[in-house]
Amino acid sequence: MFLWNMSMETGIETVDQGRKRVLAAMADFFQGMDDPALNQQILAARTGAIFNAMKTAFAAENAYLAEREAPDQEKHQANHAALSAAFIDLCRKLIPKIKNHKQAQQVCLEIYQLVDDAIFHHITKEVGNYRDLVRAQIKKAG
């Protein structure tokens, strides 16, 4: 489901590496949804991995944008902060309530919806903007 492919490449090594890590963590989370041992601790670890990857990826993106004084940089950073906050809030709200496997699966589905609808969409939607920045830098240098 969350597999990296060439259509997601921005042409910016640090940005692409961060995004690959986010997608890998999301894929691990997705694959674990059917784990018969799924419980509160496993789910917390997998969502923690997604959050850590997001934090690193978003920091790399923010640094890249800041170095280039990119347009809409503040809006972009605010979007990253909102995505991170929504993810954290949902995990903090749902994961502590897990008492059994069935509840863990239900929580997984709710978190998956946010991951798929918001985070994955954010990553794929921005590719064109980053490619435009790279082209502008090349034109500027040339």
Can you tell me the distance from the alpha carbon of 77 to that of 58, in angstroms, rounded to the nearest whole number? 8
Does 139 score more than 80 pLDDT? no
Q: Per mean pLDDT, which of 2-6, 30-34, 42-46 is the most reliable? A: 42-46
Average pLDDT over residues 2-16: 91
**73 or 94, higher pLDDT:** 94
Give me the pLDDT at residue 142, please.
64
pTM, two decimal places: 0.91
Give the whole-angstrom CA distance, residue 24 versus residue 26. 5
Q: What's the mean per-residue pLDDT of the chain?
A: 91
**Tokens representing residue 130 in the block:** 């980053």
Q: What's the fold here for domain 13-129? A: Four Helix Bundle (Hemerythrin (Met), subunit A) (1.20.120)
Dump pLDDT digits (tens) for 48-69: 999 999 999 999 999 999 888 7
Q: 18 with 57: CB under 8 angstroms?
A: yes
Average pLDDT over residues 36-52: 95
Any idea where the domains of the chain sit in the sequence? 13-129
What Cα–Cα distance (Å) separates residue 102 from each residue in 6, 29, 32, 35? 37, 16, 14, 11
